[in-house]
Structure 1
Amino acid sequence: MTGATPIRDAATIILLRRQAEGVSVLMGMRGAGAVFMPSKYVFPGGAVDPGDASAPLTAPLAEPHRSRLVREPRPGTLPDPDAIAAAALRELAEETGQLIGRPGHSTWPGFAEAGLCPDASALVYLFRAITPPGRPRRFDAHFFVADAACLATDPDDFSRACDELSHLHWVPLAEARALDLPFITEVVLAELADLIAGLPQDACLPVPDTVPFFDNRTPAPRFAQIA
């Protein structure tokens, strides 16, 4: 932690939809009254809650993503890969109504009604960034990408979404950077485009060689690559 504002772990999922007509990502707009990034288009995500650490997963986050999540910890902290992955899946369900899970028992809304349990095995760790000092809220944000083919729900049905994000829709990847985006979202989109460049439509998402890390724990920013 630096300064008066604590840094909280957070998790975001970039849902990638690959179709014959092109590649798109799921985005929505934060409310104008939001404390953090108001009126900006973002991916679904949010802070890790205490209950995420005990949430059952039908399958955990795969390697090397688990190992990469615990590298370069903040002083005095020990990252929990399962809690971070669970938070990403929970936020996706809450903010979009979309579920990534397998048959099983869960008490989470959406999953419980569908008879599903969250599944973290489809998540690919793509990017990490810590909010700079001086912001009203600060997060150690972990960005994952997942293929929309892994969804257990209709990718065009947002009827179960909460009201935290408006204008939820699939944005063509080539057009996404023209939206009103936070700077870090622009950077993540560029990383995603590089990751899938030339990837066949039916191929599995590749594992990045490294995970870029924008480390803003102190007023002197640092850029690193997590191998």
Structure 2
Amino acid sequence: MTKPQTEDKARLRDAATILLVRRGPDGPSVLMGMRGAAAAFMPSKYVFPGGAVDADDALVPLAAPLGAACAGRIAADAPAGLATALAAAAVRELWEETGLMLGVPGQWPGAVPPDWAGFAATGNLPSAAPLTFVFRAITPPGRPRRFDARFFLADAADVLGDPDDFSLACDELSHLHWVPITTARRLNLPFITEVVLAEVAALLEISGDTIATPESVPFFDNSGADSTFRRLA
């Protein structure tokens, strides 16, 4: 009898991470939460909301697409449709892990994917318009989970409802709170999170009160035996 194949959890998977930024009189803060101590990937670390792309993410009816410049930069070395799926995944992960929503009022056309049922039940459609692609990193070999992660920046002003209301969040992240970017590195962070924070802090300083599309996006490529760094034009 042939045994059923088990999922290779260490295979490289596309993933989306979202940095939600809120501006205040003391400077910008970013939303972070702590992963559980028993988590296989980055246990007990403070991270941004995010996770792997689901198959249904590519089918989600976005009320507004990802900006053309960001979508084009992702599509330059990605399969067709992946930019849309990544943007949808970023919105979904934010909703699942924090209970916060990037969307607009509207009814879903056709059947709603199971992972989006809770979102759709609110009477809103997801929107990728607030997202800006700012970073890419591939997890090094040998880790229990590996991701080709794209990081998106978004302004908390685009959240529907109260950005301090995490009552609808799942339990994947604990201690959800807004962390001043100037002090975030005092937390227990993964190395790549520290790097992304530094990049975003510099971008926000240049952008001022708006989030500008960066001239290039940093890419930490650990897909092979040797780590490389380059910038995506």
- What TM-score results when the alignment is normalised by the length of structure 2? 0.90
- Say if 2:20 is the partner of 1:15: yes
Task: Give 1:84's match in structure 2, choosing from 75, 83, 86.
Answer: 86
Structure 1, gaps ≥5 residues long: none
Q: How many residues are matched?
A: 220
Q: Distance in 2 between matches of 1:57 and 1:213?
A: 26
Q: Distance in 2 between matches of 1:225 and 1:163?
A: 35
- Say if 2:204 is the partner of 1:196: yes
Q: Distance in 2 between matches of 1:187 and 1:4?
A: 25
- Computed over aligned residues only, the root mean square deviation of the Cα atoms, in angstroms, reads 1.6
Q: Which residue of 1 aligns with 2:3?
A: none
Q: Which residue of 1 aligns with 2:64?
A: 59
80-89 vs 107-116, greater mean Cα deviation: 107-116
Q: Which residue of 2 aligns with 1:105?
A: 107
Q: Which residue of 2 aligns with 1:226?
A: 232
Report deviation, 1:197: 1.0
Percentage identity across paired residues of the two chains: 59
What is the correspondence of 1:111-126 to structure 2 with a 5 Å cutoff? 111-126=119-134
In structure 2, give the amino acid aligned to 1:8: R
Equivalent pair of 2:9/2:145 in contact (CA under 8 Å): no
Q: Which residue of 2 aligns with 1:134?
A: 142
- Say if 2:152 is the partner of 1:144: yes
Equivalent pair of 1:97/1:110 in contact (CA under 8 Å): no
Q: Which residue of 2 aligns with 1:153?
A: 161
Structure 1 residues 39-97: Cα deviation after superposition (integer angstroms, max 9, x where no partner): 00000000000010101100110121001112234xxx556111110000000000000
Q: Distance in 1 between matches of 2:221 and 2:81?
A: 15
Equivalent pair of 2:9/2:144 in contact (CA under 8 Å): no
Structure 2, gaps ≥5 residues long: 1-7
- Write out the 4+ residue segments of structure 1 that deviate beyond 6 Å after TM superposition: none
Q: Distance in 2 between matches of 1:61 and 1:111?
A: 19
Structure 1 residues 178-201: Cα deviation after superposition (integer angstroms, max 9, x where no partner): 10000000000000011011543x
Structure 1 residues 153-198: Cα deviation after superposition (integer angstroms, max 9, x where no partner): 2100000000000000000110101100000000000000110115
In structure 1, give the amino acid aligned to 2:173: L
Q: Distance in 2 between matches of 1:46 and 1:110?
A: 17
Q: Which residue of 1 aligns with 2:76?
A: 71
What SS class does the counterpart of residue 68 from structure 2 fall into? coil
Task: Give 1:182's match in structure 2, choosing from 175, 190, 202.
Answer: 190
What SS class does the counterpart of residue 114 from structure 1 fall into? coil
What SS class does the counterpart of residue 41 from structure 2 fall into? coil
Q: Which residue of 2 aligns with 1:210?
A: 216
Structure 1 residues 188-215: Cα deviation after superposition (integer angstroms, max 9, x where no partner): 0000011011543xx3211111010001
Q: Distance in 1 between matches of 2:27 and 2:223?
A: 38
Q: Distance in 1 between matches of 2:205 and 2:49?
A: 23
Q: Distance in 1 between matches of 2:12 and 2:161?
A: 33
Report deviation, 1:135: 0.5
- Say if 2:176 is the partner of 1:168: yes
Q: Distance in 2 between matches of 1:18 and 1:29?
A: 22
Structure 1 residues 108-141: Cα deviation after superposition (integer angstroms, max 9, x where no partner): 2443232110000110000000000011110000
